[in-house]
Amino acid sequence: MCSNHTQRYFPYTSPRPGQLSLVQAIQDDLGAGKHLCVEAANGFGKTIAALSGVLPLHKKKSLGIVYVARTHKQLDRVMQELRLITESTSLNGVVLRGRASTCLNPIVRKYAASAQLAMFICSQLKRAGRCEYYQNLIRKKKIEQNYFNKFYQTPLTGLEFRKKCESDKVCPYELSKRLLPLVTVVATTYFQIFDPHISNMFFEAFGHPLSHTILILDEAHNLPRIAVELASARLSLASIKQSNKEANRYDLSPIKQFALTLEHNIQQLAGSYSEQEIRFDPVEFTSQLCQVLKINNFNNFVEIMLQTGSKVLNQLLNEGKPPISYIHSLARFFINWCYFLKRKDAAFFITQNGPNHSPTYLEIVALDPRIATTPILKSCYASAHLSGTLEPTSAHIDLVGLPKETVSLNLPSPFTQNQIFPIISLGVTTAMKYRTPQMYKKINRRILEVCQATPHNVGVFVPSYSVLQSLLEAGLDKVSNRDLFIEKPNLSSSENDSLIQKFKRRAHAGAMLIGVLGGRNSEGEDYPGIEMETVVVVGVPYARPTPKEMTRIAYFESQFPRKGRLYGYQLPALRSASQAAGRSVRKLEDRGAIVFLDDRYATPLCQRLLPKWINENLRGSNNADGVLYTHLKNFYSVT
């Protein structure tokens, strides 16, 4: 049992099963400077348990606490739970979101296409005294010694914090950064902690060195994917062409020749292959560029190009023009190029997606999450990795570079057998060789049975947009009289939010949402209560065996013998499926069904990689029409 000192931070009178075990594990293991991997089902209450366990360590050892999450909603949840704790003890916290997402300055909001560009534009505007929000913050700090007090007396969500800043006309990002050393808990994104360009600035402002910081990583199954995305880089052929025009406009002959030669060499190399993804040797490619352009030191050339791009951006800002420099983007890409040039943990590709397979992107693809994770996890005091889909934790430990003595904990599901009904509908699959119109029609019949048996909303998640389109062509939009809400590629955040809100409002009538496994609606969104009673997982979302994927698998095999396919191919797919499966049960009182429409979920491999809270009640349904309907109808008839 937890000590009285620990329990005073836990604000609920009736802990859920296993919560106090997590509180104690966090206090014991993190207090001893260890790392902890925890799998606990949705609805367990991981956030409040983690906070309750770690807060005594802040008091006892003067350690900084950083709660890391993927979405803004998850960050706000941390502040909401912390607010409950502050009712009985004096604590505070702040949400630090990215500069681009919080900035009030119209120039940054309009033209910052990336976090790096937002940082650059912001720094130039501050230096020139041209950001009223930053200037107001500095003035208020000088005039009102206690100005910061009203911002951390009560933990505020990101939106609440931003609204206060808007009313005072001060910069939310700069203010939250100044609050970092004054608060007990900082909730921030993976980007702030694991992006090498950002993390150093974060810890400089934090007030606690990384060696005296505890990291709580929520939805930690995302960390390997996020880490490789942060370390990777992409440059479009269109951007290279614009660099050429920009260099010509400013009479920058060496950069113009570089852009022209680069474009020519890419086109020539791509023309030798018919594949969509072409892996090439970056050392040989760089050597050819230097030989043609008579460049003696490529690193120096790139640094000069970056300085030139910065000057162009400054000039545009001073002239009141849109601060867009393609030369600056080109240079930033090649800074990454130089870093990875001779490393084995990244691969270089030309991607052809345009008409007639014309080359459209030059890509640096990071292969190893440890590029981004190891510098942080090796240096922090301790870390807790929390997720409902973290098993096997040994894989997570390997992939993010945690020490072998990392503690693993698998906690019991808080749900009873009457609350979760996971079932495999046999006789259907989306395996490539079986993707026929007849199979899609059969899948649609099973989805119809789900709709007929489920009283309220249904979510259907499929492996890809091509499968989604095939199901629609097979008549998915006609299988039920329910309103159908379809996730489409390239929807903006606001458009997608509107789609989801409309779907949720139709819960009492019963609607159907169809989306893609691994997408924002199957992982980043919650549907408590009747907002999604039944989740249908169509197929196993294995990645296509493209050159990039095969390169990643081969790399993992070289690092983790006999585990390359598991780490690079099988595990990511089953985690995506498991995340979608958990959308139907988010609160302790929820009841929901999970329907797996694919024979492969009955195989030992897939069942071994599904989380325990699904596996312990998983059953199969035979191939006959109507059987799945009967199972679900019986489940929902029991109250």
Same domain, 400 and 469: no
Total structural domains within the chain: 3
Same domain, 33 and 159: yes
Same domain, 313 and 386: no
Same domain, 453 and 435: yes
Q: Please tell me the least confidently modeled range out of 8-22, 232-246, 598-612.
A: 8-22
Same domain, 330 and 298: yes
pLDDT of residue 320: 84
pLDDT of residue 237: 94
Q: Bigger pLDDT: 41 or 453?
A: 453
Domain that holds residue 469: 420-637
By C-alpha distance, which of 404, 405, 468 is closest to 435? 468
- DSSP string of 277-303, one letter each residue: EEEE-HHHHHHHHHHHHT-S-HHHHHH
pLDDT of residue 1: 46
What are the φ/ψ torsions at residue 125 (nearest 5 degrees)?
A: -65, -40
Position 128 in a domain: no
Position 135 in a domain: no
Tens of pLDDT along 330-370? Answer: 999 999 999 999 999 999 999 987 656 567 899 999 999 99
Same domain, 250 and 162: no
Q: Residue 366 corresponds to which amino acid? A: A
Position 319 in a domain: yes
Tens of pLDDT along 191-227? Answer: 999 998 889 999 999 989 999 999 999 999 999 999 9
Same domain, 256 and 392: no
Please give the average per-residue pLDDT across 520-547, as a whole number.
92
Q: Identify the CATH number of the domain in which residue 166 sits.
A: 3.40.50.300
- DSSP string of 108-177, one letter each residue: HHHH--SHHHHHHHHHHHHHTT--HHHHHHHHHHHH-TTTTHHHHSS---HHHHHHHHHHHT--HHHHHH
Residues 572 and 543: beta-carbon distance below 8 Å: yes
Cis peptide bond upstream of 392, omega within 30? yes
Residues 457 and 586: beta-carbon distance below 8 Å: no
By C-alpha distance, which of 7, 3, 41, 5 is closest to 409? 41
Tens of pLDDT along 382-434? Answer: 999 999 999 899 999 999 999 999 999 999 888 888 889 999 999 999 999 99
Tens of pLDDT along 218-260? Answer: 999 999 999 999 999 999 999 999 999 999 999 999 999 999 9
* C-alpha torsion sign, points 475, 476, 480, 486: negative
Q: Identify the CATH number of the domain in which residue 338 sits.
A: 1.10.275.40
Q: Please tell me the least confidently modeled range out of 38-42, 258-262, 324-328, 330-334.
A: 38-42
Report whether pLDDT(499) > 80. yes
Report whether pLDDT(76) > 70. yes
Q: Bigger pLDDT: 236 or 109?
A: 236
Please give the average per-residue pLDDT across 485-514, as a whole number.
92
Same domain, 489 and 595: yes
Please give the average per-residue pLDDT across 59-82, as a whole number.
92
Same domain, 286 and 226: no
Rg of the chain taking only CA atoms, in angstroms: 26
Please give the average per-residue pLDDT across 467-479, as a whole number.
94
* HEC profile of 542-587: CCCCCHHHHHHHHHHHHHCCCCHHHHHHHHHHHHHHHHHHHHHCCC
Say what the alpha-carbon torsion angle 109, 111, 112, 114 is, to the nearest 10 degrees.
130
Q: Give the pair of three-digit tokens for residue 326.
A: 């393609």
- Across the beta sheet with 407-410, what order do the strands follow? 93-96, 185-189, 64-69, 213-217, 382-387, 35-39, 407-410
Does an H or E element contain 349, and which?
strand 346-352
Position 112 in a domain: no
pLDDT of residue 5: 53
Please give the average per-residue pLDDT across 603-631, as a whole number.
92
Position 395 in a domain: yes
What distance in Å separates the CA atoms of residue 319 and residue 528, rounded to the nearest whole number?
51
For the chain, give percent helix, strand, coil, nearest 5.
Answer: 55, 15, 30
Please give the average per-residue pLDDT across 555-571, as a whole number.
97
Residues contacting 54, CB < 8 A, separation 6+: 26, 27, 30, 65, 214, 216, 384
pLDDT of residue 4: 53
Please give the average per-residue pLDDT across 165-181, as a whole number.
92
Same domain, 378 and 522: no
Position 427 in a domain: yes
Same domain, 44 and 175: yes
Residues 97 and 189: beta-carbon distance below 8 Å: yes
Position 126 in a domain: no
**Mean pLDDT over the full length of the chain:** 92
| DSSP E strand boundaries for 182-325 | 185-189, 213-217, 233-236, 277-280
Position 605 in a domain: yes
Please give the average per-residue pLDDT across 472-498, as a whole number.
90
Same domain, 499 and 460: yes
Report whether pLDDT(147) > 90. no
Q: Bigger pLDDT: 283 or 108?
A: 283
pLDDT of residue 542: 96
By C-alpha distance, which of 220, 219, 214, 218 is closest to 54? 214
